[in-house]
Amino acid sequence: MLEKALKGSKAYWLWVFALLGIIAVGFGFYLKQLDFGLGITGMSRDVTWGFYIAQFTFLVGVAASAVMLVIPYYLHNYKAFGRITILGEFLAISSVIMCILFIVVDLGQPMRLLNVLLYPSPNSMLFWDMIVLSGYLFLNLVIGWNVLDAERNSVPPAQWLKPLIYLSVPWAISIHTVTAYLYCGLPGRGFWLTAILAPRFLASAFAAGPAFLVLLCFIVRKVTKFDPGKEQIQTLAKVVVYGAIANIFFFACEVFVALYSQIPEHMDHLQYLFFGLHGHGILVPFMWTAMVLMVGGIILLVIPAARQNEAVLGVACVFTFIGIWIDKGLGMVSGGFVPNPLHEVNEYFPTFPEVMITIGVYATGFLVLTILYKVFVGVKEEVAV
């Protein structure tokens, strides 16, 4: 089926080469990072994880959100999603690939990566993260590819796929749970030390992922002959708003516990993010922007008339996606590191090379996504003829 990605319009190839160009630039900066060390990023002795790990965390969520299509379609027999479930699974594949790349670019000694396999350490949540992420990548590749292949041959998907599809449901939950466990099991990091971190990660994922998928559906409809369908997009929009509301609710629970108990170790980080601490507050405008975008997105999505207007829906999905991206991709990680364990405030902000490497990784993910979606649309067009 991959040959479908080799035939495309001028615009398709322009897009592919543009992505390749961005990847090349990002890779150039990565070579610079390999040469100098991670010192070219904004990370420091106090904020030891930054943009890369935050993007990784955010994208694990986007990957996990494919389950929001798999559950209605395969478990509740919601036929409409049959049209777009593979789009969700292919989005998951490209997201997991980006996750893995973000881990690699974050390592100080990437050529020693295989030490994780050589000295397996079940105590480490990173070990489990590797297992669940690679397993999820494998599941989605096998399921997505085989279901699409069956569709191409106009036969029902093979029976042996069923158990894998059912397995992919808890597996999707597991990837984001384990990712949250990276953070929430650490003593002395009050911001993350909350049992609601994994549920909140999942809630924000089930808002950001489907919101992105809605936008992708709009693009697919515009640039190809395949229409993901009005009903499908509307149902996705409802998934987004449930996820977004749950996310805000969980966040409110966190804020209440921290502010009402007034325990400094839990409260200081929130204060740093939203009001600044000891005169440092580089993230304050970002966090408030995120809040406005997330709440604004919910308001637009929760009103039926607004949601059903696709132009408004598009805006609401952009709001939701960017709002959650700022919250998780910028605030969540550095917020946990500031103030540091000695209660000193040393701030973090990504540097230019760091951002360029990040964009390079995103371009790689988009390239994979483009190829997979091209194959998908190619098959759909072939079947339609």
Partner 1 sequence: MEKNRRSFLKFAGVSVLGLGSLSLLDGLASEDAIASSGQASADATYKKTANALTAKRWGMVIDTRKLNGRICRKIEKVCHQTHNVPHHEEKKHEIKWIWETHYKHVFPEKQDEFLVDRLKELPIPVLCNHCENPPCVQVCPTQATFQRADGIVLMDFHRCIGCRFCMAACPYGSRSFNFRDPRADNAIKNENKEFPTRMKGVVEKCNFCAERLAVGKQPACVEVSKGALVFGDLSDPNSGVRKLLKENYAIRRKQNLGTNPSVYYLV
Stretch that binds partner 1, among 15-23, 274-282, 292-300, 336-344 (CB under 8 A): 336-344
Looking at residue 301, the DSSP 8-state letter turns out to be: H
Instruction: Give yes or no for a contact between 13 and 379, defined as CB atoms under 8 angstroms apart.
Output: no
C-alpha atoms less than 13 angstroms from C-alpha of 306 in its C-beta half-sphere:
15
Residue type, 112: R
> Please, what is the minimum distance in Å from the beta carbon of residue 133 to partner 1?
13
Stretch that binds partner 1, among 73-81, 187-195, 212-220, 287-295 (CB under 8 A): 187-195
| Binder of partner 1 out of 256, 261, 341, 382 (CB under 8 A) | 341
Per CB under 8 A, contacts with partner 1 among 99-138 are 103, 106-110, 112-113, 115-116, 118-128, 130
**Is residue 45 a contact point for partner 1 (CB under 8 A)?**
yes
Question: What is the chain's alpha carbon radius of gyration, rounded to the nearest angstrom?
Answer: 21
Residue 214 interacts with partner 1 (CB under 8 A): yes or no:
no
Nearest alpha carbon to residue 357 among 45, 96, 109, 53? 53
Residues 269-328 touching partner 1, rule: CB under 8 A, are none
How far is residue 189's CA from residue 186's CA, in Å, rounded to a whole number?
6
Residue type, 359: I
Total residues belonging to the chain: 385
Which residue of 7, 13, 18, 37 would you call a contact of partner 1, by CB under 8 A?
A: 37
189 forms part of the interface with partner 1 (CB under 8 A)? yes
> Which residues between 256 and 275 bind partner 1 (CB under 8 A)?
264-265
Alpha helices in 40-113 (DSSP H): 51-64, 67-70, 85-106
Site for partner 1 (CB under 8 A): which residue of 25, 164, 169, 186?
186
End-to-end CA distance of the chain: 16
Residues 6 or more apart whose Cβ sits within 8 Å of residue 271: 277
Does 345 interact with partner 1 (rule: CB under 8 A)?
Answer: no
Would you call 109 helix, strand, or coil by DSSP? coil
Question: Whole-number minimum distance, CB 368 to partner 1, in Å?
Answer: 24
Rounded least distance, CB 170 to partner 1, Å: 8
* By CB under 8 A, residue 337 contacts partner 1: yes
- Contact letters (x/-) for partner 1, 137-176, by CB under 8 A? ----------------------------------------
The answer to whether the beta carbons of residues 364 and 27 sit under 8 Å apart is no
Print burial letters for 275-310: b (CB count within 10 Å at least 16), e (below 16): eebeeebebbebbeebbebbbebbebbeeeebbeeb
Nearer to partner 1 (CB atom), residue 46 or residue 149: 46
* Contact status: 38 vs partner 1 (CB under 8 A): yes
Task: Name the minimum Å distance from CB 349 to partner 1.
Answer: 11
**How far is 219 from 232, CA to CA, in rounded Å?**
14
Binding track over 65-104 against partner 1, x by CB under 8 A: --------------------------------------x-
Q: Which residues bind partner 1 (CB under 8 A)?
A: 36-39, 42-46, 48-49, 103, 106-110, 112-113, 115-116, 118-128, 130, 182-183, 186-189, 264-265, 336-337, 340-344, 346
